Each structure stands twice: as C-alpha cells, then as structure tokens.
Amino acid sequence: MTIGATGDQGHPLLQRLLDADMHPVAALRNPSALANTPFADVETISADLYDEQSLIAAAQGMDAIAMHLPFVFDLEKAAQLGANIAAAAKASSVRKIVFNTSCYVADEDIGNPAHDGRRAIEQAIIDSGVSYAIFETKVFMDNMIRSWNKPSIVNSSIFAYPAKPDLKISWICLDDVATFMVEALQNDDLPSGRYAIGGPQALVGDEVAAILSEVIGKPVTFKSLSPDDFASAMSLLVTGSATVQPESIYSGMASFYSFYNEQPVSPLIADTEEMAKYFKTRPTPLAQWAARQDWTDPTDPALAIRMAGAK
C-alpha cells in the first residue's frame, strides 16, 4: 500500500513499483485522484490519514506500506499521523514500513514543528515493532524544475536558492529516492533503520550553476537568497501575497533553510560510502539528471499531474 501516491514524490514511486512488477495499491482520501494521471489503472483504496480505523481497514491484506507524507506544521497532528500509521501496520499483515521523510532529520528537535513532527512520525514507526526503512533524504534535484525555480533558470539564467554560498548539498532526484524505496521493499535482509540518502556530489550553489550552464549551453548564475526572501517569493507565486503567514508551508521552509545555513557543517552532505554498505542503488549525478530535462520550456513538467491529483 502506498500513502502519498499523488504528486511529485508519489508518482515516481508508483512507476518504480510497476517497473519492479510489484502491485501498488494507492491509499487515497479521494479515490479518483489518479484518474487523470498516467497511473489511472493503479488500484486504489479509500483511506484518511487522520482516521485510525480507516487506515487499519485499508491496510488489511497489504504486504507493506511505502509512503510520503505531507509536511504538517502542527506537532500534535504529525504525531497523530505517525500513531495512526503504526496502528494500521500492527493490526494487519504488513511486514515492512518504508518512509521517505522528504527532508534531513536531526537527532533532536530543532523547534520547527514540521521537522519535529517528522521525528514523531519516525518514532511511531520505530516503536511499532514492524520492520522499517526510513529514508532521510537531502534536497531534491527536482526542486530546480518546479514553478518557483525553473522559470528563473530558463528565462533569466539565474539559479536562485535559499542556500548560503558555501552550503554544500548532495542533491538527489526523486526517481532515485523511489528506487531506494523499492530496493528496501524487496530486500528482506535490510536491517531496520534510518538511512540518510543523497546524490553522489556535495555541491555549493556556484557548482550547481556551472553544471547547469554546461548542460543548458548558456551561462547560469547562482543567486543566494535569504530563507525569508525565498519564502516571501514562494508565497507571492502561490497565494498572490508576499506576506508569509505563521505556520504556513512557506514559513516552515524558511525555518528549514535557516537551520541548514546556520550549521557549522552542512547537514545536507550524503555519506555515499555508508549508503553503499546497504544499497545497490547508485544515485544519479546532477549533470546526468539535468541532461534529461527540457530547459527550453519554463513550465514545471509535474504541474499538470500534480493538479490532476489535487482535484
């Protein structure tokens, strides 16, 4: 059973599950959310993340749970999500839980409810008694082709990101994250644990811009944004207002990147040797991923399917 099957992160996982001849069943609050996507034929089941009994019923007969979860800027609600999923796993035949946190997760709370909520969800999974693989991903390459980033690269040759100039990031593409998740589902010998994964290169902004320049065929410049300016621009793009509301996704993102930028050593660097001890998957270099993208079109290629799933 997949949770979070719609959207940017869910679709690559569905594709990788199908490629591996596995049978995904998408747990959806809206059972028709995949109808206008390439995954219209994927089996679905009705479920509500905030309804424990709904999740328990959905998980009956399922072999495993593979999931992405929305960022919740309420610690109590995040803890409820984790508890409900753990209850569903314990009450069914689920043999493994695989969870992509979609962000770096520290070993202690940092005062950001979205981050600290991830820790609460992790703890619920760990305490469930079910075998698990928690993937704590660094930063997604696919952020570069989203509507809040790609137009600037294509139209203005500027790669703008809320990273200080010397912040190293091991960028990883969503397809590789999905591949790691499927490998974890297939490997019964994989020890339960938290696995930090990222791309094969730890790059600062100027290095990312240089790679994009080479791939696109024109100079691209890195622009370091403050996390607050980034959040304001995101809010303006999506809501029409540059005012960042407290406890919104925009304030949460600003908090994440403020934390990253303040650390003496970047927490966004992946230990590829440690990853290779447990997984056969080898992440894609940025240049190889970038060469697969269309840099003549400023449009976010995932926008149409993301909006279809949101209806």
Nearest to 70 by CA among 86, 62, 82: 82
pLDDT per residue as tens digits for the range 67-88: 999 888 889 999 999 999 999 9
Q: In the chain, which residues have pLDDT < 70?
A: 247, 304-311
Contact 203, 169 (CB under 8 A): yes
The pLDDT of residue 109 is 95
Amino acid at 140: F
Say if residue 163 is exposed, middle or buried (CB neighbours under 10 Å; 0-12, 13-18, 19+): buried
- C-alpha span between 91 and 57 (Å, rounded): 9
At which residue do the structure tokens 């709904």 appear? 54
Structural domains in the chain, CATH included, are 2-203+263-310 (3.40.50.720)
pLDDT per residue as tens digits for the range 190-224: 999 999 999 999 999 999 999 999 999 999 999 99
- C-alpha span between 305 and 291 (Å, rounded): 22
Q: Cα 105 from chain centroid?
A: 12
Beta-bridge partner residues of 134: 99, 194
CA-based angle 282:173:109, to the nearest 5? 100
Tokens for 311, please give them.
């209806």
